[in-house]
Structure 1
């Protein structure tokens, strides 16, 4: 009986495969431990093989951002602008929650890639399609900031000195009564915003406030040219 030689063929290395492996490795071990050498080991190749597809670590990180942004699904077809924007941003948040390292990397990029620019362009397009002026849309995008990618910079990254059992609790309460009052409201210990804050609720709460404010300005026909000079009283307040 003739014996057939079975040749195991290695999956060809490609830029897409390298980036997917890098994202998976960062998900498993954290972004700080990611290196070209470890990525090469994960793929079963020598480090130099990666450089045929990725020029350097910075290009790798930008490509990883592209992978995450590519996971952000579009809104349902036919929905009005506010629902479309909300759906897209919450889809972005789900993508960021799958890849907790991604927000740091997005913030670290010196310039957006074409894929990131395309995502931002699609966000702008939702407001323009909803009837927003270029002027209002410009300011809306500034107000959204990183929220359009599903994350926002919180006031505190992690609670410090707020342990109810801490010896200095009485002193803290005397010095900073309002901080301690807020810190003790509805709190547990497992969130990013602060002990007890529901991160998803806080994100959606702020997002909805922004969207409602954008809608109000849009209906009013707001224009930045109507703003009072810097330092002048805002309309509706005492002068």
Structure 2
């Protein structure tokens, strides 16, 4: 008989993430994770004290997959790369959206990630306050964009132009909507996901301007 692979905290958290991928966060329990691992739920308690700790570990699991800015990165490149990484991870694991900022007992991976983001901003001239504002607005944008993408009414593989063509409401009663549809969607192979980069650059441009203003005030 082959020896059973020993339980570890890492294996338990990986299994919990797999359960969440299949059944959502509501499907994660000590019982469901134990079942996935082929063990009784009680066996998990030697490594994880309770479900709440398991959820804390899952939050760390998510942040462990989101790329942190390197110490050498410029703030704009660092924030851009992190935003793309966060979007990719949260799109692949939608349940993560309910965990990333909700846990009271922040784990070491989450804290290291947050510290790296703030460090990238602070090393590149951001004040403590502006770094906090930048961190907040970037996360709000990424999380909101991912949530919007998850709830779009498009079928898999459906073109936005085909979806819009089925809507009876885009006519002269809504001139600005009609204008946007005709210019950006009809005949343009439009994909909503492409809006991510446009929005992100708008935010980065605004932060660049605010950083320059702050630097001007401090040197005046």
Q: How would you bin the TM-score normalised by the shorter chain?
A: 0.7 to 0.9
Deviation at 1:18, TM superposition (A): 0.3
Tell me if the contact between 2:67 and 2:82 (Cα under 8 Å) persists in the aligned partners. yes
Gaps of 5+ in 2: 155-162
SS across alignment from 1:106: coil
Q: Report if the CA contact (8 A) 2:48-2:54 is conserved.
A: yes
Q: TM-score, normalised by structure 1?
A: 0.70
* Per-residue Cα deviation, 1:55-103 (whole angstroms, up to 9, x for no partner): 3323222211211211223446633221122112222222223323211
Please provide the CA RMSD for this pair: 3.5
Change (3 A) 1:177 1:110: farther
Aligned residues: 208
Structure number with greater Rg is: 1
Query: Contact conserved, 1:89 with 1:149, CA < 8 A, in 2?
Result: no
Is there any run of 5+ residues in structure 1 with no aligned partner, and where? 1-6, 188-195, 225-239
Choose which of 108, 112, 121 in structure 2 pairs with 1:114: 108
Alignment of 1:1-239 (within 5 A): 7-75=1-69, 78-106=72-100, 108-110=102-104, 112-147=106-141, 153-154=147-148, 157-159=151-153, 164-165=165-166, 169-170=168-169, 178=176, 186=185, 197-199=191-193, 201-221=194-214
CA distance in structure 1 between the partners assigned to 2:9 and 2:150 by the alignment: 37
The Cα shift of 1:123 comes to 0.6
Q: Confirm or deny: 8 A CA contact 1:135 1:223 kept in the other structure.
A: no
* Larger helix proportion of the pair: 2
Quote how far apart the aligned CAs of 1:214 are: 0.8
Task: Name the SS for the 1:37 alignment partner.
Answer: helix
